[in-house]
Amino acid sequence: ELFAVLPSTLCVLKLQGQSGVGPKGWRELGERLHVGQIPRLTHLSLSHCRLGLADVITIFSALPESLKILELNEIRHAGNGAFQLSAWMPLVSRFSSLTHLRELKLRVCRLDRDSASILFSSLPLSLQVLDISGNPTVPSNAWALLGSAMERGGL
């Protein structure tokens, strides 16, 4: 019920480690973002949180265009740990609208080959800080995609 009363003027929302939010709370946050009720949000931290697949898809697909900092360090699926490609796709799709995004933090997200490849090849041009430390399973072809994005001036 906390998310229902967040003011529309809210600029920073840090929820790192909030295990008590639960599915209903995450769904409520996603709905508020989806209908544009937090339009001035510039900083969102979901680091160390556990979310269901449907909730992360809703939240990622509704991130406000005003967002400048997105922290997803150690974000986990509530059921099985790491998020797979289907969870990251809405974020990748949203990147083109996030023209103010300057920082993306994905430390220890257990990125697999497919997730890393799609994320690295789609990063917004506005990005200035990318923290992907602690993802040891990212394969060399994904790093090559990141290098290509950097060469194109994408980072």
Categorize the per-residue pLDDT at 79 as very low, low, confident or very high, splitting at 50, 70 and 90. confident
Q: How far apart are the first and last CA of the chain?
A: 38
Average pLDDT over every residue of 68-79 = 92
Token pair recorded at residue 85 = 């490609």
State the pLDDT confidence band at 13, using cuts at 50, 70 and 90: very high
Percentages of the chain per state (helix, strand, coil), in multiples of 5:
35, 15, 50
Question: How many beta carbons lie within 10 A of that of residue 142, not counting itself?
Answer: 23
Looking at residue 2, its pLDDT comes to 81
Given a cut of 80, is residue 39 above it in pLDDT? yes
What integer pLDDT is reported at residue 155 of this predicted model?
Answer: 64
Specify whether the CB–CB gap between 29 and 62 falls below 8 A: no
- Mean pLDDT along residues 23-35: 92
Say what percent of the chain tops pLDDT 90. 66
Query: Alpha carbon of 88 to those of 10, 39, 55, 59, 72: distances in Å?
Result: 25, 22, 12, 11, 11
pLDDT at 154 over 70: no
